[in-house]
Amino acid sequence: MKTATGIKTEDWNRIIRGLLDEGWVVSAKYDGFDAGIDYDFIILRDGKRTIEFGWDNWMEGEIKATEEILEEITQKFEIDFKYGKPSNLTLPLIRVTKINIAINKITSLINNKLGRLITKK
């Protein structure tokens, strides 16, 4: 895995939209109150292929994927990436984000089930 860093916000968003249009699906997304404002994190999947996207308002976008996928993105979107040490796609941040995503999904499921139970009574 390799990480492209310092990606302009407009390009970062354009890449995500383009990949979604091509059939990639969101398998995880940060949905905190500051999503898209101060911080963002998205995982896209296409079969077994995965791309992690991290972004913050200060360092802008990062993309972590295999060299093959990053080369495909470079060609499709005509962007020359700079590679370096990530600030948003670090293992501790990814773990915390994935835990928050899981907690939000579980909370949503519980609320849905409780809502159905309450309306049945």
Is the CB of residue 40 less than 8 Å from the CB of residue 9? no
Q: What is the pLDDT of residues 5-61, one digit of tens each?
A: 999 999 999 999 999 999 999 988 877 777 778 888 899 999 999 999 999 888 899
Euclidean distance between CA atoms 50 and 37, whole angstroms: 24
Structural domains of the chain, count? 1
Euclidean distance between CA atoms 25 and 46, whole angstroms: 7
Predicted local distance difference test score (pLDDT) of residue 117: 65
Please give the residue that has the higher pLDDT: either 120 or 70. 70
Q: Which amino acid is at 58?
A: W
pTM of model > 0.85: no
Q: Which amino acid is at 3?
A: T
Looking at residue 87, the DSSP 8-state letter turns out to be S
Average pLDDT, the chain: 85
The alpha-helical segments, DSSP class H, found in the chain are 9-21, 67-77, 91-120
| Domain, as residue range, for 92 | 2-120
Q: What is the pLDDT of residues 74-114, one digit of tens each?
A: 999 999 999 999 887 775 555 556 666 666 677 777 877 76
